[in-house]
Copies of this chain bind each other. A is one copy, B any other.
């Protein structure tokens, strides 16, 4: 056997042994992909295991994350900080080798994959980020960022709409630095792809604007030729359809769904090793020859990295400043104050105010780039004067995602994972439903991604119930590590953007109104940072009889209702709670100072009521809306549903003061 053949067999059996020991996992894909993986890691990828975060490293994305044992085996052989003991702890509590690859958890893992299709979207974002960062920091004679992105994707990945959306945009943008190797093994969990998936995949991807070719995925030299052609001969993203055999080498299970998601079993494992001339024991055997091709590649890569460091040194001061802006993202100490000035003092729709703030945010933090799923004009999320990103020029800041919300969410994650950008994406709040899997991964991966969602309640009006969010405010709040801000006026818009800019360990969603809102009056002594607590007293009273909590467009109405009831001697404290998650996490003392235990509470928010019921208690009143909306002008909806100040005051009076 050649060293490469050693490496391929070692990877194959490390992966299979890991699954067998865990008695859980997916052996078939790693067995079929061992040649592809070794070929990529030893012949193509630029990386340095000593510096897994080298900014210009090539990115490798295992979109079919269930084949994680393949990736872990490759990372071990490549010299990353991942030992054989780590492989032996595959899928165990606290190990570095969880069931699906998790970025930030295991060195060399570039993104968290498992939910199919997402990895392709992340890869498109990473490839786009390479182009966009390059457009900012590369000189004619000094390309600091030109990394490539390599993906291994399964049938399942390609069936997912999110992958097709992202692929379509990648073709549109001509991302020639993106190579997807499609593991055409013709088997999914439920059997042959013949039962559900008979696309001419190459034709589809050519339709998306890609180059494609087909090779034998077990033929390293054929793969090498195809990958080299993809990298050099094409101005388009490339799909290489690699025909492989799932469970390659297993006498009883090759090409069968049985090896997809279950261990081979002791007998079949032994038979497979015997057929390959591989000793049955020890488990987790690594032949010394297997390390050699990886070491050779790393030596070459480390030389490239050393050269890159020199390149970086000789970059101009201006370039280094741009670099620092993209990567370090330092803000002036008065950033919040600057955002507040930018927000203005006019009674406008918060989508409009937030866009004013966004201009300043992007000026203060040049890493901010983004775009919309074809609703930039409606959400108001354009960065003016910042240029559009397109195939011919990646130096702009405005992206056009098309009507591809899900693809957008996955691409935003890729842009963020690059390390160069704080990306934002916009659409109507209702269409956050199209993006949830990507948003959840932003939260799980602790990515600083900003979502701009306008048209936040049934008040969007005439478009009717298909477009009117009801449960979305609450359902987004329940995603772990996602913060949702629903600002009520200019100051809260500024605070919301400030939160999104300074929160580096997770995504923030800004939820914005379509209609104009009043500017809230606050005492001169008001400290704007109070808004960042998530909830604060916006209109107080001596000895309150009722604490009324409201968010977004309901805060102004709540203050009006308070005034109406004050006329009959009622004393209501109004709390604005732009961020439920932060409000919920307040220390007990702060929470009690706000709420004053013993005083009854009510909530007013035009959306699902359930997540607020715990705040007011079983006997408390949550004025909200748990049913679908209706098509009509918004003022009529307000009147019909009883959300105007007079009716709200009457509902509060009937509940608390009758």
Q: Which A residues contact B (CB, under 8 angstroms)?
A: 22, 24-25, 65-66, 91-95, 98-100, 102, 112-117, 155-157, 159-165, 168-169, 171-172, 188-191, 193, 195-209, 257, 261, 372, 374-378, 388, 390, 400-407, 430-431, 433-434, 436-437, 440-441, 443-444, 461-467, 470-471, 474-475, 477-481, 584, 608, 610-618, 626-628, 630-633, 636-637, 640
Given contacts A159-B403, A160-B165, A466-B115, contact A206 B196 (CB under 8 A): no
Q: List 13 A-B contacts (CB under 8 A).
A: A65-B466, A98-B631, A99-B466, A159-B403, A160-B403, A196-B401, A196-B402, A200-B209, A202-B207, A204-B204, A480-B626, A614-B618, A617-B617
Task: Kindly identify which residue among B102, B462, B480, B618 contacts A627, using a CB–CB cutoff of 8 Å.
Answer: B480
The complex places the Cα of A471 from the Cα of B93 at a distance, in Å, of: 22
Task: Kindly identify which residue among B156, B165, B405, B633 contacts A403, using a CB–CB cutoff of 8 Å.
Answer: B156
Instruction: Kindly list the 10 A-B residue pairs having the minimum CB-CB distance in the complex, ordered from nearest.
Output: A161-B161, A613-B614, A204-B207, A114-B466, A98-B631, A196-B402, A203-B207, A93-B632, A156-B403, A471-B478
- Measured CB to CB, the closest approach of chain B to A256, in angstroms, equals 13
Contact B164 A161 (CB under 8 A): yes
Task: Kindly identify which residue among B195, B196, B200, B466 contacts A100, using a CB–CB cutoff of 8 Å.
Answer: B466
- Measured CB to CB, the closest approach of chain B to A482, in angstroms, equals 10
Q: Nearest CB to that of A631 among chain B residues?
A: B98
Contact B479 A471 (CB under 8 A): yes
Known A94-B630, A471-B480; 11 more pairs at CB < 8 Å: A99-B631, A112-B466, A115-B434, A160-B434, A161-B161, A172-B196, A190-B377, A199-B207, A203-B203, A203-B206, A480-B627
Task: Kindly identify which residue among B159, B205, B462, B618 contacts A91, using a CB–CB cutoff of 8 Å.
Answer: B462
Q: Nearest CB to that of A372 among chain B residues?
A: B190
A157, A201, A378, A402 interface centre (most CB from chain B within 10 Å): A402
Contact B114 A463 (CB under 8 A): yes
Given contacts A24-B462, A614-B618, contact A206 B195 (CB under 8 A): no
Given contacts A198-B209, A375-B190, A608-B478, contact A160 B614 (CB under 8 A): no
- Measured CB to CB, the closest approach of chain B to A165, in angstroms, equals 5
Contact A207 B200 (CB under 8 A): yes
Which B residues are CB-close (under 8 A) to A637? 93
Contact B208 A204 (CB under 8 A): yes
Contact A632 B91 (CB under 8 A): yes
The complex places the Cα of A95 from the Cα of B66 at a distance, in Å, of: 51
Task: Kindly identify which residue among B168, B404, B628 contacts A480, using a CB–CB cutoff of 8 Å.
Answer: B628
Task: Kindly identify which residue among B440, B465, B474 contacts A478, using a CB–CB cutoff of 8 Å.
Answer: B474
Which B residues are CB-close (under 8 A) to A433? 436-437, 440
Contact A24 B633 (CB under 8 A): yes
Contact A162 B159 (CB under 8 A): no
Contact B168 A159 (CB under 8 A): yes
Contact B93 A374 (CB under 8 A): no
Which B residues are CB-close (under 8 A) to A618? 614-615, 617
Given contacts A92-B632, A98-B464, A478-B610, contact A406 B188 (CB under 8 A): no
- Measured CB to CB, the closest approach of chain B to A423, in angstroms, equals 16
The complex places the Cα of A72 from the Cα of B280 at a distance, in Å, of: 72
The complex places the Cα of A261 from the Cα of B25 at a distance, in Å, of: 50
Contact A463 B99 (CB under 8 A): yes
A200, A407, A443, A614 interface centre (most CB from chain B within 10 Å): A614
The complex places the Cα of A100 from the Cα of B481 at a distance, in Å, of: 34
The complex places the Cα of A377 from the Cα of B160 at a distance, in Å, of: 19
The complex places the Cα of A159 from the Cα of B115 at a distance, in Å, of: 21
Q: Nearest CB to that of A632 among chain B residues?
A: B93
- Measured CB to CB, the closest approach of chain B to A348, in angstroms, equals 19
The complex places the Cα of A202 from the Cα of B204 at a distance, in Å, of: 9
A195, A631, A633 interface centre (most CB from chain B within 10 Å): A631
Which B residues are CB-close (under 8 A) to A190? 372, 374-377, 400
The complex places the Cα of A636 from the Cα of B95 at a distance, in Å, of: 13
The complex places the Cα of A165 from the Cα of B158 at a distance, in Å, of: 10
- Measured CB to CB, the closest approach of chain B to A387, in angstroms, equals 13
Contact B207 A100 (CB under 8 A): no
Which B residues are CB-close (under 8 A) to A207? 199-207
Q: Nearest CB to that of A157 among chain B residues?
A: B403
Contact A189 B378 (CB under 8 A): yes
Which B residues are CB-close (under 8 A) to A480? 470-471, 626-628
Which B residues are CB-close (under 8 A) to A22? 462
Which B residues are CB-close (under 8 A) to A633? 24, 91-93
Q: Nearest CB to that of A463 among chain B residues?
A: B99
Given contacts A207-B203, A374-B190, A376-B190, contact A400 B196 (CB under 8 A): yes
Which B residues are CB-close (under 8 A) to A616? 614
Task: Kindly identify which residue among B98, B163, B164, B375 contacts A189, using a CB–CB cutoff of 8 Å.
Answer: B375
Which B residues are CB-close (under 8 A) to A403? 116-117, 155-157, 159-160, 188
Contact B160 A461 (CB under 8 A): no
Q: Nearest CB to that of A439 among chain B residues?
A: B433
Which B residues are CB-close (under 8 A) to A466? 65, 99-100, 102, 112-115, 441, 444
